[in-house]
């Protein structure tokens, strides 16, 4: 009977794993606006509570105020980035004719020097080098020609997806508002489907999830403070005006998945290179590399100290996350690892662990010989030898 229950528990775990692998990603993608809204409530809930308790503002009005403040902050950030992009692009287009003339002059000097060098080289070597240069020129031309078509297609796809993206953002904001306003009703609806024992586990899971997310966000802000200081000092050293201001949006973007400091620093370096500011361009690339290196060095220690786990398990989780899911694995490996550990302590995996122990004992009992079986086998071997 115990073995049958053990196999049933393991079968349920297997079905759950298959569900998480094949169906859960599609469901997450489908309900992403609502998941985003729920995450927004985690950031906005403290502000709503403050307005409700300290300033005596009712929950609905407080939710509207906090939501508007979040929207204003996001719009100011993107407006700041757009202003910088337009400023840099305008400066680039203003200097582009001058840089083109300079590039042609430098190319003429390089060509003259090359012709003087080829007089001392074997003709076969010169022919091979020129053939390689011609091939490279064709490849570059082909790449540029192909680039224009996907760019136009990308613009068209962006225009087609823009209304849907705006609608999804509106749904996310509305869901965040209703999650804030109807927080107790949502909690009662969820717990109404659970048994008393499962309700206790749900409360533990809910509190653990909040604590893990809060600790992870706190750790990321600590890391971004160091990234900001590095960027501010670096931009000041390389003579960038208002570098302490430019470092702020770069550090904020580094918080977002799939962005990082290179989202701004690499295009900025290309702009500076085309403008002829080679030292600044080199400095921006160095800052990008240093920010990546700094994050990888301090991330295990800061995450471990903030979230209550040592540096070695944190490093192992980061490595496994990267190997299994790339950048998303790095982002979510530590919170998920800590969440699974807390769920295990709360008893979520009790039946699974007990089932494995039962099956392992049965396996051991099937594998090992009893003294009677050993005696019978040894007796048969002794009789064969006689």
From 221-230, 273-282, 367-376, the region with the lowest mean pLDDT = 367-376
HEC profile for the chain? CHHHHHHHHHHHHHHHHHHHHHHHHHHHHHCHHHHHHHHHHHHHHHHHHHHHHCCCCCHHHHHHHHHHHHHHHHHHHHHHHHHHHHHHHHHHHHHHHHHHHHHHHHHHHHHHHHHHHHCCCCHHHHHHHHHHHHHHHHHHHHHHHHHHHHHHHHHHHHHHHHHHHHHHHHHHHHHHHHHHHCHHHHHHHHHCCCCHHHHHHHHHHHHHHHHHHHHHHHHHHHHHHHHHHHHHHHHHHCCCCCHHHHHHHHHHHHHCCCCCCHHHHHHHHHHHHHCCCHHHHHHHHHHHHHHHHHHHHHHHHHHHHHHCCCHHHHHHHHHHHHHHHHHHHHHHHHHHHHHHHHHHHCCCCHHHHHHHHHHHHHHHHHHCCCHHHHHHHHHHHHHHHC
Domain chopping of the chain, boundaries:
32-130+159-193, 197-348
For the chain, the average pLDDT equals 75
pLDDT at 147: 45
Query: How far apart, in whole angstroms, are the C-alpha atoms of residue 328 and residue 256?
Result: 11
Long-range Cβ contact pairs of 97-105 (< 8 A, separation 24 or more)? 99/274, 99/275, 99/276, 102/276
Residue 383 has pLDDT above 60, yes or no: no
Mean pLDDT across the stretch 280-304?
A: 83
pLDDT at 150: 45
Residues 6 or more apart whose CB falls under 8 angstroms from that of 40 comprise 70, 172, 173, 176
pLDDT at 146: 52
Mean pLDDT across the stretch 242-256?
A: 77
pLDDT at 1: 55
User: pLDDT, tens digit, for every residue of 228-247?
Assistant: 898 888 888 887 777 777 78
pLDDT band at 144 (very low <50, low <70, confident <90, very high): very low
Mean pLDDT across the stretch 171-200?
A: 78
User: pLDDT, tens digit, for every residue of 1-49?
Assistant: 567 777 777 787 788 778 877 887 788 888 888 888 888 887 788 888 8
**pLDDT above 70 coverage of the chain, percent:** 74
pLDDT at 110: 61
Mean pLDDT across the stretch 373-379?
A: 64
With 0.75 as the threshold, say if the pTM is over it.
no
Query: How far apart, in whole angstroms, are the C-alpha atoms of residue 264 and residue 250?
Result: 6
Query: How far apart, in whole angstroms, are the C-alpha atoms of residue 70 and residue 42?
Result: 13
Q: Comparing 68 with 116, which gets the higher pLDDT?
A: 68
Mean pLDDT across the stretch 282-288?
A: 87
pLDDT band at 381 (very low <50, low <70, confident <90, very high): low
pLDDT at 282: 87
Mean pLDDT across the stretch 111-124?
A: 68
Residue 141 has pLDDT above 60, yes or no: no
User: pLDDT, tens digit, for every residue of 146-173?
Assistant: 544 444 455 556 556 667 777 888 888 8
Residue 257 has pLDDT above 60, yes or no: no
pLDDT at 256: 66
**pLDDT above 90 coverage of the chain, percent:** 0
pLDDT at 379: 63
Mean pLDDT across the stretch 245-269?
A: 76
Mean pLDDT across the stretch 355-383?
A: 70
Residue 304 has pLDDT above 60, yes or no: yes
């Amino acid at each position: 009977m115990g073995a049958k229950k053990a196999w049933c528990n393991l079968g349920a775990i297997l079905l759950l794993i298959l569900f998480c692998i094949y169906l859960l990603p599609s469901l997450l993608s489908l309900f992403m606006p609502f998941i985003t809204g729920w995450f927004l409530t985690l950031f906005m809930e403290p502000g709503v509570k403050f307005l409700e308790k300290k300033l005596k503002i009712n929950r609905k009005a407080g939710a509207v105020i906090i939501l508007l403040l979040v929207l204003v902050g996001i719009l100011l950030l993107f407006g700041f980035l757009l202003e910088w992009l337009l400023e840099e692009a305008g400066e680039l287009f203003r200097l582009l004719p001058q840089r083109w003339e300079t590039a042609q002059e430098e190319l003429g000097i390089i060509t003259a020097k090359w012709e003087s060098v080829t007089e001392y080289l074997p003709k076969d070597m010169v022919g091979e080098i020129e053939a390689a240069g011609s091939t490279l020129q064709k490849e570059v031309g082909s790449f540029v020609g192909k680039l224009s078509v996907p760019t136009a297609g990308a613009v068209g796809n962006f225009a087609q997806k823009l209304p849907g993206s705006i609608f999804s953002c509106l749904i996310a904001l509305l869901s965040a508002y209703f999650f804030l306003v109807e927080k107790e009703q949502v909690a009662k609806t969820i717990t109404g489907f659970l048994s008393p024992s499962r309700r206790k586990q749900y409360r533990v899971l809910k509190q653990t999830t909040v604590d893990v997310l809060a600790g992870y966000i706190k750790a990321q802000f600590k890391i971004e403070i160091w990234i900001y200081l590095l960027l501010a000092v670096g931009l000041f050293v390389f003579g960038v005006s208002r570098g302490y201001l430019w470092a702020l949006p770069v550090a904020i973007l580094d918080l977002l998945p799939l962005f990082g400091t290179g989202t701004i620093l690499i295009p900025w370096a290309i702009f500076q290179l085309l403008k002829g500011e080679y030292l600044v361009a080199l400095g921006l690339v160095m800052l990008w590399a240093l920010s990546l290196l700094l994050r990888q060095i301090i991330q295990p220690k800061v995450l471990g100290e903030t979230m209550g786990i040592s540096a070695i398990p944190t490093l192992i989780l980061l490595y496994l996350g990267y190997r299994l899911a790339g950048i998303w694995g790095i982002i979510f490996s530590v919170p998920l690892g800590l969440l699974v550990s807390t769920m295990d302590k709360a008893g979520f995996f009790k039946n699974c662990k007990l089932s494995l122990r039962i099956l392992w004992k049965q396996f051991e009992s099937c594998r090992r010989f009893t003294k009677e079986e050993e005696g019978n086998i040894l007796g048969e071997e002794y009789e064969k030898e006689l």
